[in-house]
């Protein structure tokens, strides 16, 4: 069950690809398609090569998403209103949740790094969901 839940949760990245494409963020959309593919491959076949490919896709999406987020907030001079503040807060909250689940979990062998493989995979699936939600709000911001 554990490994499969990460495969299944990877499909959420296709929703990000579709939404990004709809909003004419074609590079972002393409990066999410790559992330979807690398995530499926990694979660079906854990090894150093699939890990590197998946991490490269993750870094690409996070970098482009960060660029887009800061561009929309600072460069585009987005008018601060309740929607922008709410969406931006959700982006930051999901980002901090991911940091907590992944890096705090790494340091203390919890969450995504739990010794119980089923628990770790469930938390990793939750990480996929949080990431998707955060990038969704970056796209529609």
Question: Residues 46-88: pLDDT tens digits?
Answer: 999 999 999 999 999 999 999 999 999 887 776 778 888 999 9
What are the counts of helices (DSSP H) followed by strands (DSSP E) for the chain? 7, 0
pTM of this prediction? 0.93
Segment 77-117, tens digit of pLDDT: 767 788 889 999 999 999 999 999 999 999 999 999 999 99
Q: Alpha-carbon distance 73 to 55, whole Å? A: 27
Q: Catalogue the E-assigned strands of the chain.
A: none
Closest CA to 37 of 7, 2, 59: 7
User: Which residues neighbour 115 within 8 Å (Cβ) at sequence distance 6 or greater?
Assistant: 109
Q: Which domain holds residue 86?
A: 2-140
DSSP 81: -
b/e string for 15-33 if b means 16 or more Cβ within 10 A? ebbebbbeeebeebbebbb
Number of structural domains (the chain) is 1
């Amino acid at each position: 069950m554990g490994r499969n839940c990460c495969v299944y949760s990877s499909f959420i990245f296709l929703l990000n690809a579709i939404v990004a494409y709809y909003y004419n963020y074609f590079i972002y959309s393409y990066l999410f398609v790559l992330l979807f593919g690398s995530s499926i491959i990694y979660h079906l076949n854990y090894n150093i090569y699939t890990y590197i490919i998946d991490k490269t896709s993750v870094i690409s999406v996070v970098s482009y998403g960060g660029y887009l987020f800061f561009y929309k907030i600072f460069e585009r001079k987005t008018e601060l209103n309740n929607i922008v503040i709410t969406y931006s807060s959700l982006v930051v909250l999901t980002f901090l949740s991911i940091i907590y689940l992944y890096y705090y979990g790494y340091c203390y062998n919890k969450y995504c790094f739990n010794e119980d493989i089923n628990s770790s995979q469930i938390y990793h699936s939750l990480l996929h969901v949080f990431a998707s939600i955060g990038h969704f709000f970056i796209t529609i911001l």
